């Protein structure tokens, strides 16, 4: 899968920029010039979200009222055009091949993406919510019905929480809970099952990638740690979920929030049998994150038949020489379309200047001549 073209209008520090991409794309420039902004724009087209902010207004160029992004995506089946328009104080507007999309989720998966940046180590270092987000985003890009199930689950959860608060404040009776528990349980079971299945599929790949990146020295582990034990039996799963909800109903009412369910799941990550969050060194955490990203690429490729595009933000400053070389070799063997930002061109890494390279300065990207390296 390829992003062939990107247009930015009043996006972050870009006034107007149009770019045509190749298989390997390099953005070079000093700090604070707009390199990450380009990757963020691509991520935004792919997922309708930024990795840095949940406030879309921040993406609009200072002093402007509207911003616009468009991208052309090609996969083995079709060529599509994705557009996103942002207006201050309004909901973003998304178009697919010129047609307005009322559901943003229709867009997810059209441009499959794996994003690796220094802050990606939050998957290892951060809280369970960071790991759930990692898993949810990965699965949603490949299985549309998973995303819809997750959305149903979140709605049911929100409504149950609302009921809990009303019961606490004596504005509703306890019977109101039941209406939300049915969809909560049904969608929750789907979500938990898929997460577990994907973790099972990711585990051997992660193990292999960690060994590759550490030249056989480290063993990575991954285990789905569900909050409610769901199995393949519908009746048993249902009963277990119900039992847990009932057992916690008093404290849930007191707190006005649901304490049981897949929104409390975690994914355990291990290095050599120890919890990576607590025991792994900085370098090990970084390597594990990279191994997860490589596992992500592999999983998406196998599950969907398409290679995702790969966004690498400033990785050469974070990874040591060995890891950087191994990363490039691993990508080269596939190879996906790559977008890489860097402050410095390292000749040992690129040899000659790639055909698609831009110098980014103050919100403008200018093509770099091939002999400039
Ligand atoms: N809405 C906006 N309007 C105008 N400029 C913005 C907006 N949002 C961010 N910027 C500017 O974009 C710049 C940061 O861009 P970006 O994060 O892409 O930098 P970078 O080239 O990746 O730098 P680094 O090498 O430090 O990571 C900042 O100077 C910031 O002021
Ligand atoms: Mg940056």
The response to whether residue 51 sits with its C-beta less than 6 Å from ligand 1 reads no
At 90-139, the pLDDT tens digits run 999 999 999 999 999 999 999 999 999 999 999 999 999 999 999 999 99
**373 pLDDT higher than 70:** no
- The mean pLDDT of 137-143, rounded to a whole number, is 97
In whole numbers, what is the pLDDT of the chain averaged over residues? 95
Backbone angles phi, psi at 100, to 5 degrees: -65, 135
Dihedral sign computed on CA atoms, order 74, 75, 80, 82: negative
Ligand closest to CA 360:
1
- The mean pLDDT of 316-342, rounded to a whole number, is 94
At 289-306, the pLDDT tens digits run 999 999 999 999 999 999
The response to whether residue 61 sits with its C-beta less than 6 Å from ligand 1 reads yes
Q: Return the pLDDT at 349.
A: 76
> For a pocket test of ligand 1, which of 34, 56, 311 has the largest count of ligand atoms closer than 8 A to its C-beta?
34
At 212-243, the pLDDT tens digits run 999 999 999 999 999 999 999 999 999 999 99
**Per-domain boundaries in the chain:** 1-112+306-373, 127-303
Architecture of domain 127-303: Up-down Bundle (1.20)
Look up the pTM and report it: 0.95
Which ligand 1 atom is the nearest neighbour of the CA of 62? 3
In terms of pLDDT, which residue wins out, 350 or 167?
Answer: 167
Instruction: Please tell me if the domain spanning 1-112+306-373 has the same topology as the one spanning 127-303.
Output: no
Euclidean distance between CA atoms 338 and 325, whole angstroms: 15
Write the CA distances from 175 to 179, 246, 255, integer angstroms.
8, 13, 18
Pick the CATH number of 1-112+306-373 from 2.30.30.60, 2.60.40.1230, 3.20.20.140, 3.40.50.300: 3.40.50.300
At 257-288, the pLDDT tens digits run 999 999 999 999 999 999 999 999 999 999 99
Q: Return the pLDDT at 338.
A: 97
CB 299 within 8 A of CB 198: yes
Cβ burial 294-316 (10 Å sphere, 16+ → b, else e): bbbbbbbbebbebbbbbbbbbbb
Token pair listed for 104 = 């943003």
């Amino acid at each position: 899968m390829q992003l062939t073209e990107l247009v930015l209008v009043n996006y972050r520090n870009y006034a107007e920029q149009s770019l045509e991409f190749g298989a390997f794309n390099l953005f070079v420039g000093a700090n604070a010039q707009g390199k990450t902004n380009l990757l963020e724009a691509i991520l935004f087209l792919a997922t309708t979200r930024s990795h840095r902010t949940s406030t879309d207004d921040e993406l609009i160029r200072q002093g402007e009222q509207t911003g616009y992004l468009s991208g052309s995506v090609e996969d083995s089946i079709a060529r599509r055009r994705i557009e996103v328009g942002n207006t201050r104080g309004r909901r973003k507007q998304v178009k697919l091949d010129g047609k307005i999309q009322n559901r943003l989720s229709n867009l997810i998966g059209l441009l499959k993406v794996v994003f690796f940046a220094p802050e990606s180590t939050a998957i290892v270092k951060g809280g369970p919510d960071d790991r759930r987000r990692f898993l949810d985003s990965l699965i949603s890009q490949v299985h549309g019905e998973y995303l819809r199930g997750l959305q149903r689950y979140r709605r049911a959860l929100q409504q149950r929480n609302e009921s809990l608060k009303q019961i606490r404040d004596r504005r509703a009776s306890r019977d109101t809970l039941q209406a939300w528990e049915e969809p909560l349980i049904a969608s929750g079971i789907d979500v938990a099952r898929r997460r577990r299945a994907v973790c099972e599929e990711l585990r051997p790949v992660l193990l292999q990638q960690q060994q590759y990146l550490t030249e056989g020295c480290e063993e990575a582990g991954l285990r789905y740690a569900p909050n409610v034990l769901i199995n393949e039996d519908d009746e048993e799963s249902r009963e277990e979920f119900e039992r847990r909800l009932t057992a916690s109903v008093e404290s849930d009412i007191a707190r006005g929030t649901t304490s049981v369910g897949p929104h409390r799941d975690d994914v355990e990550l291990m290095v050599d049998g120890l919890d990576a969050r607590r025991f792994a060194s900085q370098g090990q955490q970084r390597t594990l994150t990279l191994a997860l990203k490589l596992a992500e690429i592999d999983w998406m490729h196998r599950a969907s038949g398409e290679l995702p595009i790969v966004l690498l933000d400033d990785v050469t400053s974070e990874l040591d020489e060995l890891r950087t070389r191994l990363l490039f070799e691993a990508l080269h063997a596939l190879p996906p379309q790559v977008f890489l930002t860097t402050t410095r061109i390292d000749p040992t890494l690129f040899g000659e200047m790639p055909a698609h390279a831009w110098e980014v300065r103050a919100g403008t990207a200018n093509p770099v001549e091939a002999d400039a390296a």
